[in-house]
Structure 1
Amino acid sequence: MDWNKSIANMINHMSLQSWPGVMIESLQALAHFDTWLIATYKQQFKPIVVHTSYQIESQKKIHRFLNKAYLLDPLFNAIENGLNDGLYRLRDLAPDQFNNTEQYKSCYSDFDLSDEIIFVTRLDNGVVFTISLGRTSKLGGISRVELNRLKSVQPILQAMSKQFWIAQSSQYVHDEQSRYSLEHAINTFGSNVLTPREKQITALILQGHSSKSISESLNISVGTIKVHRKSIYMKLDICRESELFSQFINHLHTLS
């Protein structure tokens, strides 16, 4: 199917629940990808899955991620910090050590993703509509040519996403559940032992920032960051970052 026919087909389905599947099929003509996840984010609510390629077993991991661990996700935090409409590579949104974090190991590595791009569209009422397209290692990274093709259709997808959500949002909003913010989760994590500065550094460690990145963000020396990290580990009675991540995820369960 040529691209003009694909656009016509997407327009025909734009107000129907079938649009996400039709849209994904159409995009395959512009770039090859083998995983996808369409989700919405909205202020005080947990993310909602609209459409995904992941099978039942993998969907359980996706829903565990969207229920708790999304608070540490690069895309979520970029959206919280005002990410504009556009097309982004996940690796460009992620902190410098994200691929070495327990968050990455527990939520990303099992999916064998070598590259992921995300269309971001801000809708009315604080809703952010995201279309994530992934490539596993067998396909390799997305080429510059493919990326440019996808960038060229971003305005079309943005307009269609808005119309789809206007027509179909009522089918999904029943899944909305209030959430807590990362700030609240961090402020109540180790609340009896960690200082405000240590909580701030803990949040950045959990998100995947290196000591160098944290020092640049907070404008303090790398040596000071290392002293704080040692103090955090001692106060929480842990020895490594994996234990910090586990304690934090367990803490999130207590907030439910």
Structure 2
Amino acid sequence: MNKVGLGISPSQSWHRDLAALIDHIRMRNFPEVLHETLKHLVSFDTILVATYKHSFKPIVVLSDHPQRMSATLAKYINEVYILDPLFNAIRNGVNGGVYRLREIAPDSFESTEYYRSCYHEFDLVDEIILIVPLENDVVFTVSLGRKSSLGSITRAERNTLNSVFPVISALVHQFWIAQSSEYVHDEQARNSMEYALSTFGSGVLTKREQEITGLILQGHSSKSIAQLLDISAGTVKVHRKNIHARLNTSTQSELFSMFLGHLTSLANG
């Protein structure tokens, strides 16, 4: 098989795909053509193309997740994206490029209740993400999911994506110039999610405890939180103990459930 992903120089297929991308560069179906191009370069089971901006709700541009996963995807987009590693990496200013999810995720992400109850439902063993910063603080992302049958991305496939990323990034920029008006982020959703995170535990937790609670829910260990906030790990552990005592919780699962309840109460209020 003559794939760039096998470490072979760009083939005639790549040139045909590139020509097709250029032909569709200002069309609404450019993401579908990009999907087909990536399938010829690397192996993956699922694709999710989305845009992010500040704390706005992400916009799904393209998804091929199975129908049975639609409820989980909707839960991510509408509720828990604010805890997601990609969302938070973008909000913290990650540079454009090609990343594995585990490279940008907090150190204890896979032990979070969010991972177990939501992300784990996608049944992925690896996720490779192309991050393209655009104008007006919008970030265009392409997430390629791999299940156990494919395993982790190979070095050759990673090198392939790195080599074509500048071209894909340039094409995405041109697509966005033509089509950005079709993808407008919801200002109300941004405000409500920022409010949800800032008010969780309000009146019960201190501001520092609220900050640490948010980091716990995202998947940061005590060591990671200590580094981020420039305090000792021992101090973080004391805060964690106080948080559970004040909220009458004992596990992260209970903390996560309480946060979801907080989101629901705000939405219904």
TM-score (normalizing by structure 2) = 0.89
- Structure 2 residue runs without a partner (length 5+): 1-11
Number of residues paired by the alignment? 256
Counterpart of 1:247?
A: 258
How far 1:108 sits from its partner (Å)? 1.5
What letter corresponds to residue 151 of structure 2 in structure 1?
G
From 98, 101, 105, give the equivalent of 2:109. 98
Determine whether 1:236 maps to 2:247.
yes
Q: Distance in 2 between matches of 1:238 and 1:181?
A: 25
Summarize deviations over 1:105-159 as a string: whole Å, max 9, x none.
1221111111111111111122111111111111100011100100111111111
Which of residues 140, 158, 168 is equivalent to 2:179? 168
In 2, the alpha carbon distance for the partners of 1:31 and 1:174 equals 30
SS in 1 for 2:220: coil
**1:18-167 to 2 correspondence within 5 Å?**
18-167=29-178
Q: Identity of paired residues, percent?
A: 55
Task: Give distance in 2, aligned partners of 1:139 and 1:67.
Answer: 29
RMSD: 1.8
* CA deviation after TM superposition for structure 1 residue 181, in Å: 7.0
Q: By how many angstroms is 1:17 displaced?
A: 2.1
2: CA distance, partners of 1:150 / 1:161: 15
Task: Give secondary structure in 1 for the equivalent of 2:57.
Answer: strand
The C-alpha deviation readout for 1:163-207, integer Å capped at 9, x for no partner, is 222222333328775323765433311111101221121111111
Asked if 2 retains the 8 angstrom alpha-carbon contact of 1:74 and 1:207, the reply is: yes
The 1:224/1:242 distance shift into structure 2, 3 A limit, reads same
TM-score (norm 1): 0.93
Query: CA shift at 1:87, angstroms?
Result: 1.2
Unaligned runs of 5+ in 1: none
Contact preservation (8 Å) 2:53, 2:185:
no
- 1:178 aligned partner: 189
Q: Which residue of 1 aligns with 2:236?
A: 225
